A and B are shown apart, each in its own frame.
Chain A
Amino acid sequence: GEDVEQSLFLSVREGDSSVINCTYTDSSSTYLYWYKQEPGAGLQLLTYIFSNMDMKQDQRLTVLLNKKDKHLSLRIADTQTGDSAIYFCADIGSQGNLIFGKGTKLSVKP
């Protein structure tokens, strides 16, 4: 079945870049997403990328898509303590549902 995998933890220092990686199995994916969940809060859509794109940049966020390897990454430049959260990679499943990874907890140390 469709699956999305991502590493569970990432720790960086404030001001550094963070790179969160994700792999997915569905080769027919049309859109891939990154969601952010702050402690005790709901899910916030950060960005998404259409499958015919290799890269999408939005301020401090850069999404890279390698469709051949089914690999998606999210780079956060100049990471701040406010970026500490869980980041979920998600793929659209065949029934229109979102298939989520287990989430990467990003810890930003001052």
Chain B
Amino acid sequence: EAQVTQNPRYLITVTGKKLTVTCSQNMNHEYMSWYRQDPGLGLRQIYYSMNVEVTDKGDVPEGYKVSRKEKRNFPLILESPSPNQTSLYFCASRLGNTQYFGPGTRLTVL
């Protein structure tokens, strides 16, 4: 089944403790991206990747890192999480004009 998976689905952590949210797609898509969703703000893009080893900042990249060492995986790294990064995170991959979203990761930073 074609899909985008994210892990973990839920995470509660504390300020400053490094964490990684994994994202994987099995559709061989070149384009992948991360969004965060906040009440009243909709979804905003954090980072995107056009292909392996090619990443670029989206609208709200501060406090995040990504890597794209292989086509299927696009992890989101928070080196030193802060409470303002409490949010719902979505990974997506794209083929042509259609984006496919993962199920979301709800992150709470205390």
Contacts and interface: CB of A to CB of B under 8 A. Distances in A.
A42 B101 contact: yes
Q: How large is the interface on B (under 10, 10 to 19, 20 to 34, 35 or more residues)?
A: 20 to 34
B101 A97 contact: no
Q: Is the interface of B mostly helix, strand, loop or mixed?
A: strand
B42 A101 contact: yes
Interface residues of A, number: 20
A88 B48 contact: no
A42 B43 contact: no
Nearest to B40: A102
Given A98-B99, A100-B42, 11 more contacts: A31-B97, A35-B101, A48-B98, A95-B48, A96-B31, A96-B50, A98-B35, A98-B43, A98-B92, A100-B35, A101-B42
